Amino acid sequence: MAEQDTFLYALSSNNAWAGYKSHQNPEFFPKLASGQSPKILWLGCSDSRCPETTILGMQPGDVFVHRNIANIVSPTDINTSAVIEFAVVYLKVKHVVLCGHTGCGGAAAALSNQRVGGVLDTWITPLKAIRNANRQELDAIRDDKARAVRIAELNVQKGIEVLMANVTIQEAVEERGLDVHGVLFDIGTGRIRDLGFGTRKQGAGGASADEVVRGRHATLVFRGGNASMKITR
Amino acid sequence: MSDQDISKYLRETHDRVFEHNKAWAAEQTAKDPEFFAKMSAGQNPDYLWIGCSDSRIPAEVITGLQPGETFVHRNIANLVCNTDLNVMSVINYAVRHLQVKHIVVCGHYGCGGVKAAMTPKDLGLLNPWLRNIRDVYRLHEKELDAIPDEEARYNRLVELNVMEQCRNVIKTAAVQQSFAKNQFPIVHGWVFGFHDGLLKDLEIDFKNVLADIQKIYNLTD
């Protein structure tokens, strides 16, 4: 598609989508305008192949979102911290989901010995630190793709540690049972895998209680390492 | 629903693991058998989307763009601050490495971040982040003060905030240098309205704004 075509396409496609949505359900937009009460805060990668609402099969109003390069959670990053504060304290989301993915450019950059340039080297410092701390394990993986997947998993693990050390999150976990999940999106299959980090560790302490998240338009059920979903409208 | 009903419901829906996700994956494969193979091969998005974290504005859903077409950064009130390494890294990567053709800053009417910023209240950790919106108000104090209707005034602040953040995008070295060399990316300001689901293009005159900005913020050699 030519450049300007893509641009015009997005605007005209929005027009068509808005028309379709309000035809399908005249209350859709008035309801949206009345406010948001998302149950999920999604912390993911900016990568264009990881559109959270689409891959979760959810609708506008269901997922509060922050996406950055390589889904890095740094304790002193004011951008991510402000999102967490707003979502956890004011919107009172029920779940925080940190999602890494296969084929991450940031992971590849952290595994290489070259400078990326500009501000990016500073941004991926936490990933570089993960690489250095796990050099032996990572270097032993022969396949480049598999190595990038492994560092992406370790990055989610580290990010969950940072989240669990966040005072706002700690208080919400304590006071109202906020759940924190670490997952990985496989771009090659479109599936999300629960890595079992966070508040409900996979396999630990037998079967955990099933968790039902009722979004505005769908119901998502977490059971063990799996999730199922039903569109409610 | 009682707990029993819920667990019955759970049994019924169990094994429908990511059913919708599966259906979506199957649909993509039916349309294009190479879809996921191509996705795995890498991304080549034309767009960088800088939007609000608000759950009601998933970029790909409201624009109809497919996975792989839009690189996305979303934060509270779609702000672009020059000392924020998070958003600066996103712009840098999108422009220099992915060579996006368009950068869209998309705000929305009724933005909770903009409202919170204008509320006389100590919001703790949110203060330093939301302060940027008060600065936008100060830049346009006269115009905004002259709007008697509160909602209309907020809506105008939302638009002015989007335009200011577009300027902040244009102030970056990555954008200025790429445009000098390639004639892209172009920076756009959009606002999403919940009442009708439509995107409004603020029609920023990119070349003139760029020239204006470069009087002071020129980072091209």
- Provide the number of CB pairs (under 8 Å) joining chain A to chain B: 257
Q: Which of B6, B20, B55, B219 to mutate to test the interface with A (most CBs of A within 10 A)?
A: B55
Task: Identify the architecture of domain B43-217 in CATH.
Answer: 3-Layer(aba) Sandwich (3.40)
pLDDT tens by residue, B151-203: 999 999 999 999 999 999 999 999 999 999 999 999 999 999 988 889 999 99
Q: Is B14 a catalytic residue?
A: no
Mean pLDDT per 10-residue interval, chain A, length 233 residues:
69 87 88 89 96 87 96 97 97 95 95 93 97 97 96 98 97 95 90 86 44 66 63 55
pLDDT at position B50 is: 98
Q: Please compute the mean of the pLDDT values over residues B194-218 and round it to a whole number.
A: 94
pTM as predicted: 0.85
User: Are residues B64 and A16, on separate chains, in Cβ contact within 8 Å?
Assistant: yes
Task: Judge: A221–B197 Cβ closer than 8 Å, yes or no.
Answer: no
Q: How many CA atoms lie within 13 A of B73 on its CB side?
A: 27
Confidence of residue B18 (pLDDT cuts 50, 70, 90): very low
B58-106 pLDDT, tens digit per residue, is 998 888 888 889 999 999 999 999 999 999 999 999 999 999 999 999 9
pLDDT of res. B144: 96
**Higher per-residue pLDDT: B32 or A106:** A106
Question: Is A101 labeled as ligand-binding?
Answer: yes
| Active-site residue flag, A47 | yes
Q: Name chain B contacts of A80, Cβ cutoff 8 Å.
A: 86
**What ipTM is given for this predicted complex?**
0.83
In B44-169, at which residue ranges do the beta strands (DSSP E only) sit?
47-52, 70-75, 102-108
Catalytic residue among B73, B108, B167, B188: B108
pLDDT at position A192 is 86
Is A66 considered catalytic here? no
Q: CB B89 to CB A119 under 8 A?
A: yes
Assess A65–B contact: CB distance below 8 Å, yes or no: yes
Q: Measure the CA–CA gap between A226 and A138, rounded to whole angstroms.
A: 27
- Which 3 state secondary structure label does DSSP give B23? helix
Nearest to B102 among A7, A54, A78 (CB): A7
Give the closest-approach CA distance of B215 to chain A in angstroms: 23
Residues of each domain in chain B carrying CATH 3.40.1050.10? 43-217
Q: In the predicted model, what is the mean pLDDT of residues B15-43? A: 71
Peptide bond into B185 cis (omega under 30): yes
* Lowest mean pLDDT, pick from A3-12, A153-162, B7-16, B113-122: B7-16
Question: What DSSP string describes chain A?
Answer: --HHHHHHHHHHHHHHHHHHHHHH-TTHHHHHHT----SEEEEEE--TT--HHHHTT--TTSEEEEEEGGG---TT-HHHHHHHHIIIIIS--SEEEEEEETT-HHHHHHHSSS---TTHHHHTHHHHHHHHHTHHHHHT---HHHHHHHHHHHHHHHHHHHHHT-HHHHHHHHHH--EEEEEEEETTTTEEEEEEEESS-TTTTSPPPPEEEE-SSEEEEEETTEEEEEE--
List the beta bridge partners of residue A63: A40
Asked whether the beta carbons of residue A86 and residue B110 sit closer than 8 angstroms, the reply is no
| pLDDT classification of B21: cutoffs 50, 70, 90 | low
Provide the pLDDT confidence category of residue B14 given band limits of 50, 70 and 90: very low
